[in-house]
């Protein structure tokens, strides 16, 4: 009778540390994100915790660095502060860490919102109030504050009036 080989996944299973290091080699990840991925892969909680502690001590995984990278990325993609704040919360960061990050980002949220409107709708002014409302909803979904949305939608109308 031929000897049965174990499937490859059972022959060699990397340690939680090696698995997490491989994940970090692809991109920055939060501690909570790594913890969830390792748990889904079947690693025990104590092995996962020890691996993440080791990665943190070696400065391979750092939630502050991850958060800074995420803020820069999302600002460049045209998202507003509320959307960025919510995404950071899903990665296990608290408001005490998030607020200084968003303040230090030095972003002109009004200009960013206006740029998103122009990118999405072009330079044409809204045809009517309903169209202006759709544009406002677009900005709200992207995570801009109501005051910022009001500024951007009114600035857009004001610019169109000046051009006429």
Q: What pLDDT digit, counting tens, does each position of 21-59 carry?
A: 999 999 999 999 999 999 999 999 999 999 999 999 999
Q: What pLDDT digit, counting tens, does each position of 9-24 carry?
A: 556 889 999 999 999 9
Judge whether residue 6 has pLDDT over 90.
no
Domain made up of 63-104: CATH architecture? Orthogonal Bundle (1.10)
| 15 three-state secondary structure | coil
Domain made up of 109-163: CATH architecture? Orthogonal Bundle (1.10)
Q: Is the domain 15-57 a CATH 3.30.300.130 member? A: no
Provide the whole-model pTM.
Answer: 0.82
Burial tier of 121 (Cβ tally within 10 Å: 0-12, 13-18, 19+) = middle
Judge whether residue 150 has pLDDT over 60.
yes
User: What is the rounded distance in angstroms from the CA atom of residue 117 to the CA atom of residue 51?
Assistant: 45
The pLDDT of residue 115 is 94
Where exactly are the structural domains of the chain?
Answer: 15-57, 63-104, 109-163
Within this chain, domains 15-57 and 109-163 share the same CATH topology: yes
Residue range 68-76: mean pLDDT, rounded:
96
């Amino acid at each position: 009778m031929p000897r049965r080989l174990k499937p490859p996944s059972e022959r060699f299973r990397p340690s939680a540390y090696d698995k997490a290091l491989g994940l970090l080699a692809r991109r920055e990840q939060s501690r909570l994100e790594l913890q969830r991925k390792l748990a889904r892969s079947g690693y025990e909680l104590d092995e996962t915790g020890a691996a993440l502690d080791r990665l943190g001590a070696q400065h391979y995984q750092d939630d502050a660095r991850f958060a800074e990278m995420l803020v820069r990325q999302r600002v460049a993609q045209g998202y507003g502060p509320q959307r960025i704040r919510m995404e950071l919360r899903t990665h296990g960061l608290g408001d005490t860490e998030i607020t200084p990050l968003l303040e230090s980002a030095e972003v002109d949220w009004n200009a960013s919102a206006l740029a998103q409107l122009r990118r999405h709708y072009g330079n044409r002014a809204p045809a009517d109030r309903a169209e202006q409302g759709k544009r406002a909803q677009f900005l709200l979904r992207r995570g801009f504050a109501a005051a910022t949305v009001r500024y951007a939608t009114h600035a857009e109308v004001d610019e169109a009036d000046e051009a006429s």
